Every structure is written in structure tokens, then in C-alpha cells.
């Protein structure tokens, strides 16, 4: 491989990491509270507001059922509004965030619903308010599962980021398609795949380790 190609791979890795990191951070920023709300606002629940729950749930489902590549194209006007342009790595962060937010919200919702309802009852019994129950009971107790969910979201974002080449997003996926596939350079394709595998492995084992550390339900050996 020529130094030129290696430079391209490094550049593409950097783009991918930037897109995924920013989209994951923004997706968590919006998705975490959304997930908490979805988990606690059903009929008869802590922050019961079934109407808002139903509406947000429908929006989340609609976003999640749109194939990512279509979402990217469909929201181009929105992307342009936010990023000033619809082309390039920065612009690609917008659809990635839009896709990541409902995904993370559902993962957080699932994690919170897994918390033993007995803990909520105990907290109500000693006089905690709904907000205190969310912040001091539900989120801390669900944290190991939330971390695993976020890990899954980051891994999925690595996959999604390969598609933003369609709008000039750059990154590893784009490089693989343009050089590896369209210019018949299998070694570039192989390099891209290897880098992606390494990234996914790294993210997953980091997430697993962090989750295990936070999980006090099993006795840690450390």
C-alpha cells in the first residue's frame, strides 16, 4: 500500500471516529432523557402522561423504521438548516444523531424498565418524589444496562457511518466503497474492514468493562 493510501485510511478513520463520537454524544444527550421519559410516563406510571408517551413513542418508532440511507436523504433540508450544508463529515453528523437518538431512547427505556419495581415502591414509601426516584433510584440502578446499551449504539453508529458517504460524509465506509470497490483495490477494502473490526472490538470491550465495573449486583473480585 502506498503512503498515499495509508494517509487516506488514517484520515478516514479520523472522520469516522469524529462522526460517531459526536453523534453518540448528541444521541445520548437527547436519547437518555427521552428514554427515561418513555419508561416512566405510561398510564399509571411515575410521571404518567400517556398522551405524550404515545406521541413520542410514535415518533421514535417512525424514525426507527425508516432505513438509514433513506433517512439521510429525506432529512437533507433539516441537515442544511442545522449544519449550513448537506455535504461533508460535519453535515453527516446530523442524520447520524437523528438515527441514534430514538435508538438510544429505546435502549435506555428497556434498561430502566428492568429495574425492580420493589425499589420504586420502597422509594415512594420513604417519601421520594417522582423526579428523585428517577435520578436517585432508576438511573443509578439501570446504569450498567444503560452503558451496555450505549455500547451497542456506538457499534451500530459505526455501521451507519459507512452509509453517509452517499452525502459526501467521508469516513471508512466511504473509502471502502470508492477505492476498494469502485477502483478495484481489494487491499484498501481489506484494510477498511480490519480497522472497523478493531474499532468495534475496542468499543465493545471498553463498554463491557465499564458496565461490569458499575454493576454491583454481582460481587466483584477487585
Binding mask 145-184 for other proteins (x = CB under 8 A): ----------------------------------------
**Of 70, 126, 184, 221, the one binding other proteins by CB under 8 A:** 126
State in Å, rounded, how far the first CA of the chain is from the last one: 45
- Whose Cβ is closer to other proteins: residue 99's or residue 147's? 147
- Owner of C-alpha cell 440502578: 141
Shortest spacing between CB 46 and other proteins, in angstroms: 12
Q: Does 125 help bind other proteins (rule: CB under 8 A)?
A: yes
Binding mask 198-217 for other proteins (x = CB under 8 A): ----------------x-xx
Contact between residue 104 and residue 31 where contact means Cβ atoms under 8 Å apart: yes
Among 64, 80, 124, 178, binds other proteins (CB under 8 A): 124
Under a CB-based contact definition with an 8 Å cutoff, are residues 104 and 28 in contact? yes
Return the SS3 of 204: helix
Q: Are 161 and 20 in contact (CB under 8 A)?
A: yes
CA distance 188 to 193: 9
C-alpha cell at 114: 428492568
Residues that bind other proteins (CB under 8 A): 116, 118-119, 121-129, 132, 136-137, 140-141, 143, 214, 216-219
Amino acid at each position: 500500500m502506498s503512503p498515499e493510501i495509508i494517509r487516506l485510511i488514517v484520515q478516514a478513520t479520523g472522520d469516522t471516529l469524529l462522526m460517531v463520537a459526536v453523534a453518540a454524544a448528541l444521541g445520548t444527550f437527547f436519547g437518555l432523557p427521552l428514554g427515561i421519559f418513555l419508561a416512566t410516563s405510561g398510564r399509571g406510571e411515575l410521571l404518567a402522561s400517556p398522551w405524550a408517551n404515545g406521541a413520542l413513542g410514535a415518533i421514535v418508532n417512525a424514525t426507527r423504521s425508516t432505513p438509514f440511507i433513506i433517512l439521510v436523504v429525506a432529512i437533507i433540508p433539516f441537515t442544511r438548516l442545522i449544519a449550513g450544508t448537506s455535504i461533508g463529515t460535519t453535515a453527516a453528523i446530523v442524520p447520524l444523531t437523528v438515527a441514534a437518538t430514538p435508538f438510544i431512547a429505546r435502549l435506555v427505556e428497556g434498561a430502566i424498565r428492568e429495574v425492580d419495581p420493589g425499589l420504586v415502591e420502597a422509594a415512594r414509601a420513604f417519601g421520594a418524589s417522582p423526579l428523585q426516584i428517577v435520578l436517585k433510584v432508576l438511573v443509578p440502578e439501570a446504569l450498567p444496562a444503560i452503558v451496555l446499551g450505549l455500547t451497542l449504539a456506538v457499534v451500530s453508529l459505526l455501521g451507519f457511518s459507512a452509509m453517509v458517504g452517499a452525502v459526501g460524509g467521508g469516513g471508512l465506509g466511504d473509502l471502502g466503497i470508492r477505492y476498494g470497490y469502485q477502483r478495484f483495490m481489494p487491499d484498501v477494502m481489506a484494510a477498511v474492514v480490519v480497522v472497523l473490526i478493531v474499532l468495534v472490538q475496542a468499543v465493545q470491550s471498553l463498554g463491557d468493562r465499564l458496565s461490569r465495573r458499575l454493576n454491583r449486583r454481582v460481587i466483584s473480585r477487585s
